[in-house]
């Protein structure tokens, strides 16, 4: 249960990563660019890179008005995929916690 509480706390109150943390990626050899622009809820960091499988990918890190990461999307081979969604992760951890509690009750 402690693990779930810590995970929930981080997901609900921690920035996880900030727009400023991503700026360093622009210095990496496999990155073409790191761009920032305003989105509906806050900043969006767009980064283009070459993956370890030699494929071009564009990542979108979406931040809220407090610069807290709320979503990561990856566009690769003309397909867009959600890599992280803060709200979905919160729900997942809550469900995990409930399942763990149910399993403990079954054992007793």
What's residue 104's pLDDT?
A: 64
Segment 62-90 mean pLDDT: 97
**Quick one: pLDDT at residue 22?**
96
Q: What is the mean pLDDT of residues 43-68?
A: 97
Burial 44-56 (b: 16+ CB within 10 A, else e): bbbbebeeeeeee
**Mean pLDDT over residues 72-87, rounded?**
97
Average confidence (pLDDT) over 13-25: 94
Q: What is the pLDDT of residue 3?
A: 83
So what's the pLDDT on residue 11?
A: 94
Query: What was the pLDDT predicted at 96?
Result: 87
Return the structure tokens found at 104. Answer: 């403990």
Any residues with CB less than 8 A from the CB of 8 and at least 6 apart, and which? 90, 93, 94, 97
| Among the listed residues 79, 58, 82, the one whose alpha carbon sits nearest the alpha carbon of residue 70 | 82
Neighbour tally for 6: CB within 10 Å: 11
State yes or no: pLDDT of 107 exceeds 70: no
Give the pLDDT confidence score for residue 97 in this predicted structure: 82
Q: How many CB atoms are located within 10 Å of the residue 63 CB?
A: 23
Task: Report the pLDDT averaged over residues 76-96.
Answer: 95
């Amino acid at each position: 249960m402690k693990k779930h509480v810590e995970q929930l706390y981080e997901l609900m109150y921690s920035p996880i990563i900030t727009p400023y943390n991503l700026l360093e990626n622009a210095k990496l050899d496999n990155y073409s660019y790191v761009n920032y622009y305003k989105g509906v809820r806050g900043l969006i960091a767009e980064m283009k890179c070459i993956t370890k499988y030699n494929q071009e990918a564009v990542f979108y890190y979406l931040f809220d008005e407090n610069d807290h990461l709320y979503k990561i999307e990856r566009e690769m081979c003309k397909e867009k995929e959600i890599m992280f969604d803060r709200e979905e992760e919160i729900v997942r951890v809550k469900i995990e916690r409930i399942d763990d509690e149910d399993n403990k009750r079954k054992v007793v």
